[in-house]
Amino acid sequence: MASETLAAPQRTDAEISGLDALEIAGREKVGSRAGRLWAATWPKLAALGLAVGLWQVVVWTGWKDPWALPGPAVVFGDLGNYLVSPALWDGLATTARRAVVGFAAAVAVGLVLGLGVARSRVLRAALGSMITALQTMPSIAWFPLAILLFQLSEQAIFFVVVLGAAPSVANGVIHGVDYVPPLLVRAGRNLGARGISLYRHVIAPAALPAIVAGLKQGWAFAWRSLMAGELLVVIAEKTSIGAQLTYARDFSDAPRLMAIMIIILVVGLLVDAAFGAADEAIRRRWGVLDQAGQ
């Protein structure tokens, strides 16, 4: 009996050592930072190569004249010239400022509205379905009203960007708060969390993944609304990416038009990567990221 009693801790230590070895093996599987970067990059490069190849095949078929559908070589050559043009960076600065200001205002409105609807039955009954209806409404449909109210101005673009993005942010907050486990809320109250403290230390962290998803979707709506706004509301004294896209269309400059579209796509990819990094950081913080599978 004594030998069996003494052997038990040894077996337990062996099991623990085995788990440690398994964890270390998982970490070794993750590999270097360069390896992880390449593993995340090569599928995107492969997809890009496939898209460019299909584009070139369509050009070779002669489906459209070269002046309407130029090949990748022509477009990327024009893109190289466009990247060193001051007009690009002036337009990007204007568009980025509009995007940041509009999205920040949409986030503020969406967070306040979402929290209010999530925690108030009266507001949920009054505004819950309306928020979803606003989210499904095309942004372009708001521009006649925006132009009527604010004419062709920055305010018209700002108005549509906020209306396009705020409902998505609000819905993200509502769904995030709805799926916070009631047991977690009761535990927070038992520990003395009340009011703002309860939201700050219990509800907000638990709802954070859904809120980030709402922010990501809100940005997508804001960016689409902004591009539509800059195509429709061209302010003469202020260049922008959307305005330059309109000028390229008016002058039938297909290579420049497609180069600008590539710039818009790249900006969208970069912002999506930023949101993806935030989501990964949250999952790692919560311990739900499979490190060995990365």
Residue 74 confidence (pLDDT): 93
Backbone angles phi, psi at 166, to 5 degrees: -60, -45
Residue 73 confidence (pLDDT): 92
**203-248 confidence digits (pLDDT tens):** 888 888 888 888 999 999 999 999 988 888 877 677 889 889 999 9
d(CA 228, CA 160): 9
Give the least confident one: 23-27, 138-142, 201-205: 23-27
- Whether pLDDT at 14 is above 70: no
**47-78 confidence digits (pLDDT tens):** 888 999 999 999 999 898 888 899 999 999 99
d(CA 106, CA 110): 6
294 three-state secondary structure: coil
The average confidence (pLDDT) of the chain is 82
- Give the global pTM: 0.79
What is the rounded average pLDDT of the residues 37-43? 78
Residue 154 has, within 13 A of its CA and on its CB side, a CA count of 11
8 three-state secondary structure: helix
Q: How confident is the model at residue 16 (pLDDT cuts 50, 70, 90)?
A: very low
What is the rounded average pLDDT of the residues 272-286? 81
Rounded to an integer, what is the distance from CA 55 to the centroid of its chain? 27
**90-102 confidence digits (pLDDT tens):** 999 999 999 999 9
Helices 72-83 and 33-60: crossing angle in degrees, nearest 10, is 120
d(CA 170, CA 72): 41
Domain boundaries, the chain: 66-293
**165-197 confidence digits (pLDDT tens):** 999 999 999 988 888 888 887 888 887 777 777
238 three-state secondary structure: coil
d(CA 277, CA 74): 34
**Alpha helices of 31-85 — where are they, by DSSP H?**
33-60, 72-83
The CATH number assigned to the domain with range 66-293 reads: 1.10.3720.10
Q: DSSP letter string over 140-204?
A: GGGHHHHHHHH-SSHHHHHHHHHHHHHHHHHHHHHHHHHTS-HHHHHHHHHTT--THHHIIIIIH
Residue 78 confidence (pLDDT): 92
Return the number of other C-beta atoms located less than 10 Å from residue 202's C-beta. 19
